[in-house]
Amino acid sequence: MCHAIRYLAQEQSGPQGSYRRAVQLLALTVVASFGYGLAVSPYFAIREVQICAPDGAIAKLALAKTKVPGGASTLLYPVERLAKQLEEYPEIKQASIERALPNRLVVHIVRRHPVAAIGTNEEWALVDEQGICVSTSTELPASLICFYGLVEKPLEPGQQLNGTALQLLRETLEGLKDYSDSAGLVMDFTDRHLIQIHMPTGVLGKLGSPDNLKRKIMMFLAIMEQLEGKGHQPAYIDVRIMDQPVWKPQPKS
């Protein structure tokens, strides 16, 4: 039978042990001082900030907001704090910073893309999939899904939808995720008991209350595709009662 024996070296006590600890501490202090001195030396001073962004406009914005103190060290500069500062701007979804030794910081920018336009009075708030307002516009963007009646007060850039409005946005986007031609589509939440979807082709969808909104949208799209595939031209499709959908054809000219 083999028995394992564990040996623990005990630290020497007395004057010899104290002397050894003092020498070790002094050596660590010298190494740390040398390392810090090298880190803050001109050799590692930041001389260039490179911006990697999807387009020139967002690159200029990021460069203007990237303020690095003169003489800052590439090794020691708090890049995480700089990334958080950049992410405070609505147009920037994510910022990550790479230390390119010895003298360069590389800033990688991910732009926040609006996917929907939310109408408030005579202004449109362009929001991303998280409901964050990227910018505002007085002109209706034809390439985005448009929402009426979702909010009462105008959104400011950087502000996020919350509560019921955010939930309705997310359910709508989930319901439309497999529909490739959503540009110009309109969602009307003005009457929360009769939510409607207006297709660019002129087909009206009657969805009713917000309950099961995602499923209602998906059902409406599936029925519309089936009808159009059979040569029908529906004027509206009513899915308010999901197990009894009805539709009406467009009047013949």
Residue-wise pLDDT for 169-212, tens only, equals: 999 999 999 998 888 899 999 999 999 999 999 999 999 999 99
More confident residue, 219 or 68: 219
CATH topology of domain 42-111: Ubiquitin-like (UB roll) (3.10.20)
Angle in degrees, CA 59, 60, 61, rounded to 5: 90
Kindly report the pTM of this predicted structure. 0.78
Question: CA 179 to CA 188: how far, in whole Å?
Answer: 18
Question: Is the pLDDT at 4 greater than 50, yes or no?
Answer: no
The torsion angles phi and psi of 77, rounded to 5 degrees, stand at -65, 135
Question: Is the pLDDT at 226 greater than 80, yes or no?
Answer: yes
DSSP state of 252: P
Report the sign of the C-alpha dihedral through residues 211, 196, 160, 54, in that order. Answer: positive
Residue 10: the pLDDT is 43
CB atoms within 10 A of CB 190: 11
Per CATH, 42-111 and 116-249 having the same topology is answered no
Task: Indicate the domain borders of the chain.
Answer: 42-111, 116-249
Residue-wise pLDDT for 32-86, tens only, equals: 444 445 455 788 888 888 999 999 999 999 988 888 887 888 888 889 988 999 9
Bridging pattern class, strands 145-148 and 204-208: unpaired
Cis previous bond, 157, omega within 30: no
Residue 25: the pLDDT is 55
Question: CA 24 to CA 11: how far, in whole Å?
Answer: 13
**Cβ-based neighbours of 218, under 8 Å, separated by 6 or more:** 175, 178
Task: Give the length of the chain.
Answer: 253
CB atoms within 10 A of CB 93: 16
CA neighbor of 207 nearest in space, from 250, 238, 180: 238
Residue-wise pLDDT for 124-173, tens only, equals: 999 999 999 999 999 988 889 999 999 999 999 999 999 999 999 999 99
Whether domain 116-249 has CATH 1.20.140: the reply is no
More confident residue, 5 or 86: 86
CA neighbor of 187 nearest in space, from 113, 118, 102, 87: 118
Cα–Cα distances (Å) from 233 to 71, 134, 251, in that order, read 69, 37, 9
* Assigned token pair, 203: 């087909």
Residue 20: the pLDDT is 66
94-122 mean pLDDT? 92
